[in-house]
Amino acid sequence: MKSYKVFKVIFNSLKFKIFVFLLLSTFYFQLSTRNAFAQSVSLGIFPPVMEIDATSPAEVKSKFSLENPTEQSLDIIIQLKAFKASTSNNGQIEILDTFESFPDPLLINRIKIKDKGISIRSFTLSPKQKKEFDFEVNIPPNEAKGDYYFTVFFATNPKPDTISNSSLASAGVAMNVLLSVGPKGETKGFIDKFSSPLFIDSGPVPFTVQVENASDHFVPINGEIIIENLFGQKVGKVKLLSVNVLAGSQRLIPDETQIKVDSAEFKEIEKTITSSNYPVAIWPEKFLIGPYKANLSLTFGENGEKFSRSVSFFAFPATYLAVILIVLGIVVFIVLRVKNKIN
Amino acid sequence: MLFGVSRVWGQTLKNDSYILQMGNLNSIAGKPTGSGFQLQFTSGQTPNNLFTGPNYKVRAGFQYISSIIYFRFSISSTLVDFGVISPTSPVSRTNQLTVSNGSAYGYQVTVSQNHDLRVDASGFDIPATSCDGGTCTPTTSAAWTSALTYGFGYRCDNVSGTDCVSGFSDPTYYKSFISSPSAVAVMSSTNVGRNRKSDITYKVNISGTQPAGLYRNIVNYIAIPSY
């Protein structure tokens, strides 16, 4: 009876009521607070480029895939943009605001991204999902011939529902499409630049190779540089990377080793690559002496029109020689001092 | 069971216009070469797919990449939370961009914003910064150290690789964001690379007359391979 009275006093006390109120409030706020996640986002695409040769009429069909390596689903929106070659001539693109550069600007309406046969402009990628999509272009009879360069963006679509001052970052990847609607004109072009340092101390030797495509269509270019010594012996070969050169544009061409980033050959030329402000083709040979002649030969397009040019350079290992002379000097000095002391 | 096993026929699915090529095991692939020849084959997956049909041919992927390597782009955090912004107390936040362009020789990441940091309800903006001397733009960087210089801007710092575009060698230099549909490059490389990382630092500073509100925007990054 006595304990009942004590409990009654406690229950009725103001302090107890306040304690209960605070306890319940804490639970309420804990349960109702929204989690604010600082999520990462990641997207992958393959292939990064599509090259299409077509003549009207054609129903071009191809495939590509996207991946979401993250743990959350991603809402993706699709956008198409025309582009032209960047003036840096390094294979990068410059996005255009309109499709006026297209021989037929309305062609853009006949490009479809399809998922299981249904044309889509947005979609959701589930966590860890890799998904294949159809890429289709309807080229009607009498379509305006010429090249159409466009890029397809796949970008996340963030929802601005945050409750603080903030920026939301959206991530996107792109696939470049080079569409050539024929019949194609004659493949025309030339070697715009082929140069190397006139004098070098030691290798690797950087070559600047720039070509210009004067055709009305993009052209794949293959080539190599053969290096000969004073006696006309072949002492080196640099295989050039096979690259596309857009119609009416120029492009600098690197060598093939530069895509093998994990190879020992790449490590040898890495410093030369990073020290150059633009793509160069690199002969990795280190010890060089005397005059050399480098012969560039290029094949333009599938018809195989060939171009060639030569450049000469002179190598003299001045650093090595200076070290040898200094060492020799020290040895001679020591020998003379010893001789003088003996005498 | 031995007698009950039925035969499985491997057929080529084709008609006059198409041959259906199915993916298969990536068991053999390589580039056999000799003194007078170079033969390129892949038995298995055909990553550099050739799709053909009446009047067209599609080459998907670069010929020099002989395996499926996704062109990948990541952002470490999609939410750049500035919290409470007090006048003349600049707030800086950082997230990280990562590019793996093993399937393309070169790339660029472009950046743009949908609009300035804005209170949607009232339309009040925190304008783009023009830096201390009033000279920085979306394409030109300049020093921004003064607490009396207001606005919203960013800078790029190399973490692995050297892919941040020029203009950020001085740690006090910033650029302003350009608004869509225009975009400018923030990272670029003319090489193949894996996990090229750059930190993006966002900086915002307001004056005492900036109206109160919830300021938000969206910053769009697009990773674009070379062609």
Cβ-contact B204, B101 below 8 angstroms: no
- For A136-159, what is each residue's pLDDT tens digit? 999 999 999 999 999 999 999 998
Q: State chain A's mean pLDDT as an integer.
A: 89
What is the domain range of residue A298? Answer: 189-320
Radius of gyration for the alpha carbons in chain B, expressed in angstroms and rounded: 26
For chain A, give the percent of residues with pLDDT over 90. 74
Interface test with B, best of A166, A181, A218, A259 (most B CBs within 10 A): A166
Q: Quick one: A203 and A145 in the same domain?
A: no
Structure ipTM over 0.90, yes or no? no
* Number of Cβ pairs < 8 A linking chain A and chain B: 251
Assigned domain for A32 exists: no
Q: Quick one: A72 and A155 in the same domain?
A: yes
Assigned domain for A150 exists: yes
Question: Could you tell me which residue, B4 or B192, shows the higher pLDDT?
Answer: B192
Q: Quick one: A143 and A216 in the same domain?
A: no
Long-range contacts at B65-69 (CB < 8 A, ≥ 24 apart): B65/A259, B65/B102, B65/B103, B65/B104, B66/B29, B66/B30, B66/B31, B66/B40, B66/B42, B67/B26, B67/B29, B68/A46, B68/B103, B69/A46, B69/B100, B69/B102, B69/B103
Q: Quick one: A262 and A148 in the same domain?
A: no
Q: What is the CATH number of the domain that holds A196?
A: 2.60.40.10
In the predicted structure, residue B143 carries a pLDDT above the cut 90: yes
Domains of chain B in sequence order: 9-68 (no CATH), 72-225 (2.60.40)
Taking the CA of residue A37 as centre, how many other CA atoms within 13 Å lie in the half-sphere pointing to its CB?
8
* Terminal C-alpha separation, chain A: 124
Question: Could you tell me which residue, B204 or B10, shows the higher pLDDT?
Answer: B204
What is the C-alpha to C-alpha distance for residues B109 and B156, in angstroms, rounded to an integer? 12
Q: Quick one: A177 and A193 in the same domain?
A: no
| pTM, rounded to two decimals | 0.80
- Model pLDDT, residue B109: 97
Which of A93, A153, A256 is nearest residue B64 as measured by Cβ atoms? A256
Residues in a beta bridge with A294:
A227, A311
Strands A74-85 and A93-95, sheet pairing = antiparallel
- Model pLDDT, residue B191: 83
- Model pLDDT, residue A15: 66
Assigned domain for A249 exists: yes
- Model pLDDT, residue A223: 96
Q: Quick one: A260 and A153 in the same domain?
A: no
In the predicted structure, residue B44 carries a pLDDT above the cut 50: no
Assigned domain for A233 exists: yes
- Model pLDDT, residue B65: 66
Assigned domain for A18 exists: no
- Model pLDDT, residue A64: 95
Q: Quick one: A149 and A249 in the same domain?
A: no
In the predicted structure, residue A32 carries a pLDDT above the cut 70: no
Per-residue pLDDT, averaged over B47-55, amounts to: 81
- For B172-188, what is each residue's pLDDT tens digit? 999 999 999 999 999 99
- Model pLDDT, residue B30: 38
Which of A155, A162, A168 is nearest residue B222 as measured by Cβ atoms? A155
Which of A173, A175, A278 is nearest residue B73 as measured by Cβ atoms? A173
- Model pLDDT, residue A121: 96
Q: By mean pLDDT, which of A1-15, A177-191, B164-178 is the weakest?
A: A1-15
Assigned domain for A128 exists: yes
CB atoms A63 and B216 under 8 Å: no
Q: Quick one: A200 and A235 in the same domain?
A: yes
Element of type H or E holding A188: none
Q: Quick one: A124 and A211 in the same domain?
A: no
- The total number of structural domains in chain A stands at 2
Q: Quick one: A213 and A312 in the same domain?
A: yes
CB atoms B81 and A166 under 8 Å: yes
Q: Quick one: A98 and A73 in the same domain?
A: yes
Q: Quick one: A85 and A138 in the same domain?
A: yes
What is the C-alpha to C-alpha distance for residues B181 and B128, in angstroms, rounded to an integer? 16
Question: Could you tell me which residue, B103 or B93, shows the higher pLDDT?
Answer: B93
B42 pLDDT band, cuts 50/70/90, is very low
